[in-house]
Structure 1
Amino acid sequence: MELIFDGSSKAEEIAAELKAGLQQIKQSNLQDVEMMLWAQAQLLSALGEQFTTKGYVLIMDARIMQCAPDLAPKLLGLGLRSLEQSRKTLKVLADIKHPKRTTFVKNQLNQLSLGESKNATLDGKIAPSAETEVFVPEPLEI
């Protein structure tokens, strides 16, 4: 997907490009989504490294710590939050590229391995479902 906000595209062209992108997603082509997540993770990682480095340098400078004592901890916190969001974004990307089995598949496999019919109860025999972390981006405060 190309940049659509370069000022030269009309609203109809933007809408057509968005429709084409949604159609690709419906056909399980997640290449654009993967590229966006990768770019987001890289940007968050770079921001995190910059903010933590600047925060560390400010802690070492006694003059700045006297003038603005809360600046360095805020930069360090912002940097660490950015790095955490980068990690979460990469986890979402990994989950998209390598999805885990769903509970439905586990239930079907359990029924086959136990030799039970579809209508039999599986209380206590169902494989534990893997809990997945839900990605909720946190707003970055500056």
Structure 2
Amino acid sequence: MASSGVGVKDECINAFQDLKLGRKLKYIIYKISDNLKEVVVEKTGDESEYDDFVANLPENECRYAVYDFNYTNDEGGKRTKIVFYTWSPDTARIKMKMVYAATKEAIKKKLDGIYVEIQCTDLAEASYETVFEKVNRK
């Protein structure tokens, strides 16, 4: 349980395993339940387009997300990295930003195999190019 008192439902870990091991999913979007008791799966997708994933991040609400990021490195090699996102738009309520920040480590600890974390406050920080720069140089 996080310092915020928010737990992580088993469905969150199960969905992550489907993405990581089963390659059944391309992305998972997590949210904190309305009663602020647990992190739950809000949406999953198997669309291959990165823009489809980003379009599912709500404009004014915080979320966590995991994306199976495929790219070609500078040497021409195909790579896949699991990216964890903390989506905290500037327009989100302050209280929710604080709850998401306090809960982030609890969910990250449950998701073994994350390559890099991206913190986003706007769409530019979640852009393919920005994420590519981070995964390609690590």
TM bracket, shorter-chain basis:
under 0.3
Structure 1 or 2: more strand by fraction: 2
Structure 1 or 2: more helix by fraction: 1
Look at both structures and tell me which one has the larger radius of gyration over its CA atoms: 1
Q: With structure 1 as the length reference, what TM-score do the two structures score?
A: 0.20
